[in-house]
Homo-oligomer: A and B are copies of this chain.
Amino acid sequence: MDLHILDHRLRVTSISKNGLVNYTYPLIKLIFLRNRTRCKFFSLTETPENYTVVLDEEGFKELQPSEHLQVESSIWLPLNVVSNGNVSSSLQAVGVTKIAKSVIGPLAQQHVSVFMLSTYQTDFILVREKDLSVVISTLEEEFNIYKEVEGESVPVRSQDVSNGLQKNGKEGKRGYRIPPSNSRSALKSFPIGTNFCIFSIQPTVHPVLIPQNQFCVMSLDPDTLPSIATTLIDVLFYSNSPKEDNQSSPNQDLDCIKFFSFSLIDGYISLVMDTEAQRQFPADLLFTSSSGELWRMVRIGGQPLGFDECGIVAQISQPLADGDISAYYISTFSFDHALVPEEDIVSVTDMLQQQRKEAASS
């Protein structure tokens, strides 16, 4: 299997609900005006707490510092697992179990935090740039590791990294690019990641929320993005709940949760929204997998998790993997969110309840 370190240096930021007004200008530019920005990696996820914006340094330049903007201090690099030249979501997909054991587990053993961003096309595993040499030395037994440099895939070995990545020549001339894929949600199991470190013998069992909304994971031809611009602007910027504060209030309004994710990464668009939001868009432009399945959310964390909280997602990903249950996984600034097929939500709920009973009685 191949592991690609993509050619993006990312920042993970959060814009407060009240502060969105101040960031409408750069965000609309980054979403809709590709000719006016060199940003190639942009993701915006609205949750009840805030807006998580993950973007490359070109995009980050557009965000003026303010009290409404929180910035995680690290540079993050997106990794992408590829099987035999195909992206993980292809027919030879890397499932939860496999990536958990081959990537997440080993990285956790080395205290490497990861930030997950699933999209319609693929799953990005973000790691801190400062952890890169550890990542490479940890994973090079299992993977052929490549670093994308200006559209080319350059093989990387840990001894190169310790000497500085830039010393790699451009011997890998395959010009590797990630293809889009419609096949993801037809699969039974997918990679699932976590932003945990190694977890203790008795890990904290965090509360989970299972809101009632049904979600869909969709894509869109970038050329048709202008056609949904006003709807997308409306949903992203103007459909805020009346709640005025920017604090999490996990025990209210969560029969249904506000959750909407848009990403535009290397020219590919991915949208995660609930069916209520979906109804606002023209049915003929957004596409999902042929099965058109719906997903339910498991939100992890009663209080914001931070970026160094340990062992949280492993508690969910391991049973999901054991049950061979597909999942998208989206980390945000405050919480983690797993999306599982609607038909599996009962068994997932049972599993989570059982887990909490055992934690309480131990």
- A21 CA / B25 CA spacing, docked (Å): 6
Confirm or deny: A29 has a beta carbon within 8 angstroms of a beta carbon on chain B: yes
Q: Is the CB of A226 within 8 A of B230?
A: yes
In the complex, the chain B residue whose C-beta lies closest to that of A26 is B21
Contact call B24/A230, Cβ cutoff below 8 A:
no
Contact A234 B25 (CB under 8 A): no
Closest to A24 in B: B25
CA distance A183 to B29 in the complex (A): 37
Contact with B along A213-238 (1 / 0, CB 8 A): 00000000000011101110110011
Q: Is A173 an interface residue (CB 8 A)?
A: no
Contact yes or no, B33 A234, CB < 8 A: yes
Asked if A28 is at the interface of the complex by the 8 Å CB criterion, the answer is yes
Tell me which residues across on chain B come within 8 A of A229, comparing CB atoms.
Answer: 226, 229-230, 233
Cβ of A287 under 8 Å from chain B: no
Q: How many copies does the complex hold?
A: 2
When C-beta atoms are compared, the residue in chain B nearest to A27 turns out to be: B24
* A238/B29 in contact, CB under 8 A: yes
Interface pair B36/A28, CB less than 8 Å apart: no
- Closest B residue, CB atoms, query A226: B230
Contact with B along A25-47 (1 / 0, CB 8 A): 11011001100100000000000
Q: Is A22 an interface residue (CB 8 A)?
A: yes
Determine if A32 and B233 form an interchain contact, defined as CB atoms under 8 angstroms apart.
Answer: yes
Would you give the shortest CB distance from A362 to chain B, in whole angstroms? 50
Q: B residues within 8 A CB of A33?
A: 230, 233-234, 238
In the complex, chain B residues whose CB is within 8 Å of the CB of A234: 32-33, 36
User: Chain B's nearest CB lies how many Å from the CB of A356?
Assistant: 42
Using Cβ atoms and an 8 Å threshold, which residues of chain B touch A26?
Answer: 21
* A234 to B233 CA separation, bound complex (whole angstroms): 14
Contact A237 B36 (CB under 8 A): no
The distance in angstroms between the C-alpha atoms of A21 and B225, with both chains bound, is 23
Could you tell me if A32 and B230 are in contact, using CB atoms closer than 8 angstroms?
A: yes
Contacts of A36 in B (CB 8 A): 234, 238
- Give the distance in Å from the alpha carbon of A231 to the alpha carbon of B233 in the complex: 14
For A24, give its contact among B28, B32, B225, B226 (CB under 8 Å): B28
Nearest 3 interchain pairs by C-beta: A24-B25, A226-B230, A21-B25
Chain A residues within CB distance 8 Å of chain B: 20-22, 24-26, 28-29, 32-33, 36, 225-227, 229-231, 233-234, 237-238
- Chosen A-B contacts, 7 in total, with CB atoms closer than 8 Å, are A21-B26, A25-B237, A28-B28, A28-B233, A28-B237, A227-B227, A229-B233
